[in-house]
Amino acid sequence: MRPEPPDIPAPAEPISTVEAARRVGVAPSTLRRWVEQDLFTDGPVDGQWPPTAIAHARIVARLRDRGHSLQEIRTATHEGRLAFGYVEELLPDTTGVYTLREAARRTGLAPKLIERIFAAVGFPTGSADSLSEFDMEMLEHISAVLGAGFPLMALMQLIRVYGQSVAQVADAEVRLFHLYVHEPLLREGVPGIEMAEQMNDLTARLLPLASPVMDHVHRRFLHHFVEQDIVGHMESDLGTAGAELGRLRVAIGFADLAGYTQLTEQQGDLEAAGVVERFVANVADTLPEDARIVKTIGDEVMVVSTDPAALTDWAVGFQTLVSGTTLPRIGVHAGEVVYRDGDYYGREVNLASRVAARAGAGEVLVTRAIVEASGRHLAFEYIGEVKLKGFDEVTELFLAGLPEE
Amino acid sequence: MGLEFESDKQFRDAMDLVFRLMDEDPDMGPKLRDADVPQRFEFEDVDMVLNVRSSRQGEPGNLHWEWTDDVDWEPKVKMKMSAETAVRYFQGKENIPIAIARRRIKTGGDVKASLALIPITKPVYAIYRDALEERYPHLVV
C-alpha cells in the first residue's frame, strides 16, 4: 500500500500590498520596488501576496537591514541560496587570501601538486588560485605526511577518499536538514523570519557536533581496521604474497533484494526504501568481523572479506535468517583485486557481481574458488559452466547451502 | 582450549546472569519486551533447557525465563547449542549466521524472528564480559 501523503495546510487567502507591507514592516512602495527589482521567485500576482512571498519579503528586509545590496539578494534568491543563507554565517570564513605561489612557498608543495590535491579532494576547478587560512593548514598537514615518507600515490588516493566521503556527509547533512527541518517548516507555513531563526538555532546547535562525532567515528573505525589488518596478515586464508603492489586477494560478495523493482512498483518508493534500509542494517549487524560493507548501490550491497570461508558461511547462514517477500540473492567469489580510492576494482569484482545477478531469491551462488576455500560443513550443488554476461570464458557455478540432516 | 564450567550450576548461573543483565538494562530490557519473541534454548551437552518470554502484564521486569520445558507458552524461536557456544555468543564471540552454517547453532521455529533481536542484544556483549570478569573470569573469551 502506498503511504498517505503528508498533510499540507490549505493555502491562506492572498493579501494586498498594503497589508503585506504592514506585516513585513516596510513601506508599500519599498515592496513594489523589490518586485520591480526581481527579488522574488514566487511574488505577488495581480497585487495579491501569497504568504510565502511575505515570508520571503521579511527575509529580504532583514538582509537589507544587515547591509546586503539588492543585487546580492537578487542573485541569492535566484540561486536558491536564500533559504540556507543563514548557515553560511555559522561557517568559518574561507575567503582566499593566499595565491597559489604563496601557498607553494609556505608549504613546500609544488603548485602543480597543490592543484592536483585540490582536484583530488573534489574542490571546483580554479579554487587553488586563491587559498584561505584553512586551505593552508590542510596543505601543511599534507606536506608533513609526505615529508614523513608516506608515498604520494597512496596519499592521493587517501585524499580522494576523504573528499568523496566528507562531501557525502556534507551533502547528507544539508539534504536531510532540508527534508526534515526546512520542508516541514515550509509546510506548516511558519513565517520566514521565525523559520530562519528556528533553523539558525538548530544549525548552530548541530554544527559543533559534526566534527567531534566524525572524529570519534573515524578513530573507532581506525582502531577496528588496524586490528583487522594485523589479524588479516597473520591469518588470511588467501594471503597477499605474490600479489602486485596495490592488489589484494579477497573474497567479494554481492547481495541484493530479488523483486525489489516490483516491490517499489507495488508499495511505493518510501516503503521500498524502508525495506532496503532494514536489509542493509541486517547485513551490517550480522557480518563477521573480517568482512565489511564496501558500498551500497540502491538495494545492492557489496561486501569484502579476507576470509572466503567465513564470508560464504555468513551468506548461507544469513539466508536462513531472512524473511519477507523480497528475499536476498547472494553471489560470492574470491580473487585478486585492485584496491584504489577506498574501493575494489577488477575482473574478479565484476565476476562476483555477475554471479550474484545469476542467483535466485534466497540463494547463495559461488564460484570454484569459494568451494575450494570453504569447509565441508556446507553443501555445494554443481550448477554447471555458465557464460556470464561480459565474460568470454565460462564460469563454474555452485549453489551453496546447508547439507540435509 | 574450550571453556570449562566447574559445574552445571555454574553454567546456569552464568546464563541467569546474562538474562538478568538484559532484563534490567534500561535500553535492552524494554526493547526485548516489546519485540515479544519467546525463545527456547536447548544446551545439549549439559542437558538443560531455558525458555524465555516477555514479561506479562503485572509481572516484574521485562523478561521472564524458566529452566524447564514445562511452561504455559509456546516458543517462537528454538535454538540448540552447547553451553560453551551460548556463553561465547553472549560475549559477542559467536557470529549467528556463521554458527548456523557451521552447525554450532541449530535452529527451529520462526528463526527469522531472531534476526530482529541481534541488534537489540548487542550491547549486552561488553556488559556481560565485565560481569563475567568479576564473577567467573575463566569464562571470559
Closest chain B C-alpha to A402 CA, distance in angstroms:
6
DSSP state letters, chain B = -----S-HHHHHHHHHHHHHHHHH-TTHHHHHHHH---EEEEEGGGTEEEEEEEPPTT-SSSEEEESSS--SS--SEEEEE-HHHHHHHTTT-S-HHHHHHTTSEEEEESGGGGGGHHHHHTTHHHHHHHHHHHH-GGG--
CATH of A15-80, one of 1.10.800.10, 3.10.20.30, 1.10.1660.10, 3.30.70.20: 1.10.1660.10
Residue A355 has pLDDT above 90, yes or no: yes
Q: Chain B within 8 Å of A279 (Cβ-Cβ)?
A: no
- Which of chain B's residues have a Cβ under 8 Å away from the Cβ of A375? 102
Q: Chain A: residue nearest B94 by CA? A: A288
Helix count and strand count (H, E) for chain A: 16, 12
pLDDT, greater one: A154 or A356:
A356
Q: Chain A within 8 Å of B108 (Cβ-Cβ)?
A: no
The H or E element that residue A359 is part of is: none
Q: Chain B within 8 Å of A317 (Cβ-Cβ)?
A: yes
- Which of chain B's residues have a Cβ under 8 Å away from the Cβ of A282? 115
Q: Chain A: residue nearest B104 by CA? A: A377
Q: Chain A within 8 Å of B97 (Cβ-Cβ)?
A: yes
For residues A136-143, average pLDDT: 95
Answer yes or no: CATH 3.20.20.140 is held by domain A238-401.
Answer: no
Residue A197 has pLDDT above 80, yes or no: no
Give the pLDDT confidence of A31-42 residue by residue, as tens digits: 999 999 988 877
**What mean pLDDT value characterizes chain B?**
93
Q: What's the pLDDT at A90?
A: 58
Residue A271 has pLDDT above 60, yes or no: yes
Q: Chain A within 8 Å of B112 (Cβ-Cβ)?
A: yes
E strand intervals along A109-179: 130-131
- Which of chain B's residues have a Cβ under 8 Å away from the Cβ of A402? 100-101
Q: Chain B: residue nearest A316 by CA? A: B101
Q: What's the pLDDT at A137?
A: 93
pTM value?
Answer: 0.68
**What mean pLDDT value characterizes chain A?**
83
Domain boundaries in chain A?
A: 15-80, 98-229, 238-401
Instruction: List, in order of start, the domains of chain B with CATH numbers.
Output: 8-132 (3.30.1050.10)
Minimum-distance CB partner of A378 among B95, B101, B114: B101
Minimum-distance CB partner of B101 among A285, A316, A323: A316
pLDDT band per the 50, 70, 90 thresholds, residue B1 = low
Q: Chain B within 8 Å of A321 (Cβ-Cβ)?
A: yes
Residue A143 has pLDDT above 80, yes or no: yes
pLDDT band per the 50, 70, 90 thresholds, residue A6 = very low
Residue B9 has pLDDT above 90, yes or no: yes
Name the grid cell of A51.
Answer: 504568504
Minimum-distance CB partner of B118 among A285, A378, A402: A285
